[in-house]
Structure 1
Amino acid sequence: MIPPADSLLKYDNPVLVSRGSGAKSPKGRSFKVSPQQSPETTPVPPPPKPKPGPSELQNEEIINSILPPREWTEGTQLWVQKVSSAPCTRTDVVQLSEQLDIKLQQKQARLTGICRVRRELYSQCFDELIRQVTINCAERGLLLFRVREEIQMTLAAYQTIYESSMAFGMRKALQSEHGKADMEKKIAELENEKRDLIKQLNEQKAECDAIEKREAEKRQVEEKKHSEEIQFLKRANQQLKVTSTKKYLPAFNL
């Protein structure tokens, strides 16, 4: 037989059952105790207990509804292990605390932060406390069960929010990567356009400098030519003045 995983929650000895029309399990499925159980099969069913009273039966039903039995199969055999309904003492609580510390060390649970191992062990410990409280007071156990369900619902909500936020972050990251590629492509195009414009600007500047130089040389030639013409006209005017003076000078002497 393959035993189930060890748990801090206290269980009774496993019972070999087979499907039939017998008594129903707490989950609503029909089971019947096998009349032919092999003597070599372990563990063996516990010895018959005294018939419990009405209050004990009610507490046992409440415990089974809060903490359902665990089942596993081996070949064609179905084993069921119910949660223990035995009364608890202060010693049980002390042992539970010690077992919790031992399992935390054995499974190397993290002391802080998110740790599934630590959460699972504390969840088993809380279930055991609910079992112990339910045996003494069913109402208090049901209230603790409500508290446990609320905590689990809150944790599930936080987990859903975390997963959705991670998915949202991944989508945004992919969008940003896609947008980054587009922006890099656009930047490259703008850089090429910038280089082309700078090249055109340099060509226009070189052409402008050549035109200015050519016009400056042309202006210098025109100014030199104009200056020479002015000097020529001045000399011609001066000669005309000298010639006219010499022509009329003898007449004055007579």
Structure 2
Amino acid sequence: MTERILAQADTLVKYDNPVLQTQQPDKKKEEIGDTGGPTRPKCAPPSADVRREVEEILNAILPPKEWEEDGQAWRQQVSTTPATRLDVISLQEQLDMRLHQRQARETGICPIRRQLYTQCFDEIIRQVTINCAERGLLLLRVRDELKMTMEAYQTLYISSVAFGMRKALLSEQGKADLESNVERLKDEKASLERQLIEQRSKAELAERRFAEQTATSERKHNEEITLLKKTNLQLKSQLEGIIAPKKG
């Protein structure tokens, strides 16, 4: 297969050079000798079997990258080269450098910082898996558990934000309804106050009219009494004038 050397992608995980995907050779040719007769397949050395097993585990943990370019299919898988102490130091330096270059936040929620630390963790899993596949698989379980927990917290955060937004909208709607109700009650109060003033004015006017009518009635009554008394005195004096000669 054709290979080409590319610059390291924007990731902390170490990959091999991409290889061009071509048609795999016929496996039957490997089983047939020069004379055309079947031959016994050669057994691979144990180191090759272990290397193949490590590659399979690494490809399962960190799937190879596949893409098409200029009509050709390329494939790039993680490196199976064991890491040295210098590689670990270089990984730490690259992590710090990229955190600084991409201006990742030191605290709080930061997608950039999370992405870089995830890549760093994947690279550590790769390095550990090459030396001990079981330890690498255990680290994979830890990574998946942390990822699942993070996604659960993210889902809970999104749902809580949505719940808070719904409550805020309901409260705003309730506040608007209460304000509308307050305005309506204020209008009703003003209307009732106007009606009260009108009724008080009518009551005062009615009381004045009643007082005037009462005073007029009393005056007329007094005048009638005075007139009747005067008439009574006149009649009395006339009656006395009539009766007095007869007595004489």
Which structure has more strand as a fraction of its residues? 1
Judged with a 3 Å threshold, the aligned counterparts in structure 2 of structure 1 residues 169 and 175 are, in CA distance, closer, same or farther, namely same
Aligned-CA RMSD value:
3.8
CA deviation map 1:205-252 (0-9, x unaligned): 11011111222333344455666778889999999xxxxxxxxxxxxx
How many Å separate the matches in 2 of 1:90 and 1:3? 22
More displaced 10-residue stretch of structure 1: 120-129 or 172-181? 172-181
Displacement of 1:138? 1.2
How many Å separate the matches in 2 of 1:22 and 1:178? 72
Displacement of 1:96? 0.8
Identity of aligned residues (%): 56
Judged with a 3 Å threshold, the aligned counterparts in structure 2 of structure 1 residues 107 and 220 are, in CA distance, closer, same or farther, namely same
Judged with a 3 Å threshold, the aligned counterparts in structure 2 of structure 1 residues 230 and 129 are, in CA distance, closer, same or farther, namely same
Query: Within the alignment, does 1:79 sit opposite 2:74 as a pair?
Result: yes
1:171 aligns to what?
A: 166
Question: Which of 74, 84, 91 is equivalent to 2:86?
Answer: 91
How many Å separate the matches in 1 of 2:217 and 2:105? 97
- TM-score computed with the length of structure 1 as normaliser: 0.71
2:74 is paired with a residue whose SS is strand
Judged with a 3 Å threshold, the aligned counterparts in structure 2 of structure 1 residues 19 and 170 are, in CA distance, closer, same or farther, namely farther
Displacement of 1:173? 3.6
How many Å separate the matches in 1 of 2:186 and 2:15? 74
CA deviation map 1:8-64 (0-9, x unaligned): 1111111111477989xxxxxxxxxxxxxxxxxxxxxxxxxx994322322222111
- 2:11 maps to a residue whose letter is S
1:210 aligns to what?
A: 205
Question: Which of 16, 19, 36 is equivalent to 1:15?
Answer: 19
Displacement of 1:187? 3.6
Question: Which of 83, 99, 102 is equivalent to 1:107?
Answer: 102
Asked if structure 1 preserves the Cα contact closer than 8 Å seen for 2:6 and 2:17, the reply is no
Displacement of 1:172? 3.3
1:146 aligns to what?
A: 141
Judged with a 3 Å threshold, the aligned counterparts in structure 2 of structure 1 residues 219 and 2 are, in CA distance, closer, same or farther, namely farther
Judged with a 3 Å threshold, the aligned counterparts in structure 2 of structure 1 residues 109 and 19 are, in CA distance, closer, same or farther, namely farther
Which structure has more helix as a fraction of its residues? 2
- 1:110 maps to a residue whose letter is R
CA deviation map 1:58-108 (0-9, x unaligned): 222211111111122212112111111111122211111111000001111
1:72 is paired with a residue whose SS is strand
How many Å separate the matches in 2 of 1:21 and 1:228? 144
How many Å separate the matches in 1 of 2:135 and 2:176? 61
Structure 2 unaligned regions, length at least 5: 28-44, 235-248
1:85 is paired with a residue whose SS is coil
